[in-house]
Structure 1
Amino acid sequence: MNIVVLNGSYNKKGTTYKLLEKFINKIDGKKHSIYLINTYDLNINYCIGCRNCEKTGECIYRDMDNLYEIIEKADLVVISSPVYFGSFTSSLKVLIDRLQVIYAKHFVLNKSLKPKKGIFIFTAGRKSEKMLNSMVLQAKYVFLSLNAEFLDCIYQLNTDEVKELDEKVLEKLEEVVKKI
């Protein structure tokens, strides 16, 4: 199985990255192909809404051509991000906006797009369950655009106070890995 991970966590010592690493380590043993895209390492342009992709199926910028191909060939897309003001991190959001090319090919130009599965991993500093609704809704729209069925979500709240991964979160991680 080809797995693409869109990681928006900047902090490699933070809770989001720890949770993502645990997830990757659990599925890695199953001998899947994993392609990790750390969005903060990318140097990509912002979407400017020119709608060229809706006419040609291509972006006017050529800085993501290889990423489009990798994402389109994936069987599973994993999105991972800490919550920043009720949303994804800025570097992940830039990449997500640029996925309009894949959306346009499939939904506007009617080109076939390989069906996928989608898993969302996130952490939030606050303990409000309201974060869950906001973040999952956004992730579901991204997965819809990629022709990916939303499988599940793994998340931990209250990371401003609790730095270690909660046992219930790790149990959920195990449950989600079994769905793959």
Structure 2
Amino acid sequence: MKTLVLFGAAREKGHTRAMVDLFLEHLDGEKEIIDAYRTEVAPCKDCRYCWHKKGCSIKDGMQDIYRKIEEADNIVLASPMYFHSITGELKSLIDRLQVYWAGHVRNDMPDHFIKKGAILMVGGAPSFENQFLGGELVFKNLLNDLSTEFLGEVCLPNSDVDSLETRPDIKQQVIDLANKMNEANK
């Protein structure tokens, strides 16, 4: 089982990374993290090349990421919330995944889920209704376009005060989600 994490946090040792590390600690198989802040990926230029061919006209670090997505059994999406959505660096990388959405146009989308997926999000503000909705919309739609079955999400609000250490309930949710992914891949 291969798991690919698309990681969108600027701080390499922040709360989002702690959630990812805990998740991966309890997950079976091979694991790799793609750090959106430390990749050489240009933004999508909406040339629509991918509407006609399953690929991208921009030849950069994204070519390796496409290969890793194709090889992965699991996709994990992780980001802190910046102004009610995922970080700009991760969004820019995700925009380059337009090639998968364009499968609707090319008529070559798989007709069933071929991967498993999970979402991890962190918000600095105290918990409020729909705090993670912006991130959910981007991430859930991305998983769908990647033909990936959504297994669940874990959100840590109030990270300006709390952490996985002060929120054992959230810590357990992360472990439970990793175990759910393990079971789903058996």
Quick check: TM above 0.5?
yes
Distance 2:129 2:115 in 1: 28
Distance 2:90 2:57 in 1: 20
SS of equivalent to 1:85:
coil
Map of 1:125 onto structure 2: 124
Distance 1:131 1:144 in 2: 21
**For 1:47, which of 44, 65, 77 is the aligned residue?**
44
Q: Hey, which of these two has a bigger chunk of helix by percent?
A: 1
Aligned 8 A contact 1:72 1:102 in 2: no
CA RMSD of aligned residues (A): 1.5
Deviation per residue, 1:71-97 (Å, 9 max, x gap): 022111000000001111111001100
Distance 2:101 2:115 in 1: 13
* Shift in Å, 1:40: 0.6
Q: Structure 2: where are the runs of 5+ without partners? A: 182-186
Identity between Structure 1 and Structure 2 (%) = 31
For this pair of structures, how many residues does the alignment match?
176
Q: How does 1:69-148 map to 2 (within 5 A)?
A: 69-104=67-102, 106-111=103-108, 113=110, 115-126=114-125, 127-148=127-148
Q: How does 1:25-40 map to 2 (within 5 A)?
A: 25-27=25-27, 30=28, 32-40=29-37
Normalising by structure 1, we get a TM-score of 0.91
Aligned 8 A contact 1:80 1:122 in 2: yes
* Shift in Å, 1:112: 5.2
Q: Structure 1: where are the runs of 5+ without partners? A: none
Distance 1:130 1:103 in 2: 25
Aligned 8 A contact 1:118 1:148 in 2: yes
